[in-house]
Structure 1
Amino acid sequence: MKLFVLCSALALASSAFADLLGWDNAYDNASGSLNVVACSDGENGLITRFGFQTFGDIPTFPFVGGAPTIPGWNSPNCGTCFALTFANSTGTHTIHFTAIDAGGADFVTGQNALNLLTNGQAAQVGVINVNATVVNATECGL
């Protein structure tokens, strides 16, 4: 039983660092209104906290989108800054990503952002493995 508990704890610890990043064209529109995402208004919303109105107002645009840490509207995790790291045959690439919406179990960004990470292969790969680390909000210009 102790071995099972130890193995389970190790599995949870290691999965905390690996995540998936997919894409949705909704996040590609710089003039897209923040009123349509979970982090719109409310005490924790990006409109309220920073005065942002559109996706393009966010300093990390196009690296914005949904995150698994945001369960819904007005989450205290709205605006969390992540370093998302992707490694492939061309090397290791890290972006700073601002969480603006609920992402379900994964991270979701625009196709253009995923293209920048995958050398134009977003449509072909669909979803990539990334390592996600919460970093200081100043890394995202907030």
Structure 2
Amino acid sequence: MKFAAFASLLTFALGAHAASVTANTSLDVVACSNGVHGLEHLGYTNFGSLPTFPFIGGAGAVEAFDSVNCGTCWQLTYTNGSGAKKSINVLAIDHAAAGTFNIALEAMNTLTGGQAAIQVDKSVCKL
């Protein structure tokens, strides 16, 4: 399942999703579950069993179920308005649109210094 709620754009398209990223979520819901290139045959069963949790997510490189790119590691870097850079490493466990990443909100907040998503007045969205 692809993480769908986009919260921010960086040098590459990057999204965050909070609802589906809990430690007890089964790997059966992602493209990199079972199969030759899946993560379950390595002994992982749920998101929390992955050594990088919550630094996990969908990557455009994972084209479909059982992709050869399942389990690849990606360094994502964010540069804030002051020019300071922050990087995190993310384990690819699911599909995302080409050129994009969808990561756990906690990982996005670590990357952006807590600026991944904030609620603003609905008038900002012209309502």
Moved runs in structure 1, 4+ residues, more than 2 A? Answer: none
Bigger CA drift: 55-64 or 22-31? 22-31
- In structure 2, relative to structure 1, the CA distance for the partners of 1:37 and 1:26 (3 Å cut) is farther
Contact 2:77 2:111 in 1 (8 A): no
Q: After TM superposition, list the pairs within 5 Å mapping 1:29-44 onto structure 2.
A: 29-44=22-37
Report the counterpart of residue 19 of structure 1 in structure 2.
Answer: 12
Give the distance between the partners of 1:90 and 1:57, measured in 2 at CA. 35
Query: Given the alignment, which residue of 22, 34, 39 partners 1:46?
Result: 39
Report the counterpart of residue 47 of structure 2 in structure 1.
Answer: 55
Query: Given the alignment, which residue of 73, 81, 84 partners 1:81?
Result: 73
AA aligned opposite 1:85: T
Q: Per the alignment, in what secondary structure is the counterpart of residue 23 of structure 2? A: coil
Q: After TM superposition, list the pairs within 5 Å mapping 1:4-15 onto structure 2.
A: none
Query: TM-score normalised to the size of structure 2?
Result: 0.77
1:117 equivalent in alignment to 2:94: no
- In structure 2, relative to structure 1, the CA distance for the partners of 1:30 and 1:85 (3 Å cut) is same
How far apart are 1:119 and its partner, in Å? 1.8
Query: TM-score normalised to the size of structure 1?
Result: 0.70
How far apart are 1:95 and its partner, in Å? 0.8
Larger Rg over CA atoms: 1
Q: Deviation string for 1:86-116 (max 9, x for gaps)? A: 1113721111110000011310001111111
User: Any gaps of 5 or more consecutive residues in structure 2?
Assistant: 1-10, 120-127
Report the counterpart of residue 93 of structure 2 in structure 1.
Answer: 100
Paired residues, number: 107
Q: Per the alignment, in what secondary structure is the counterpart of residue 100 of structure 1? A: strand
Bigger CA drift: 20-29 or 71-80? 20-29
Give the distance between the partners of 2:111 and 2:83, measured in 1 at CA. 10
User: Any gaps of 5 or more consecutive residues in structure 1?
Assistant: 1-17, 126-142
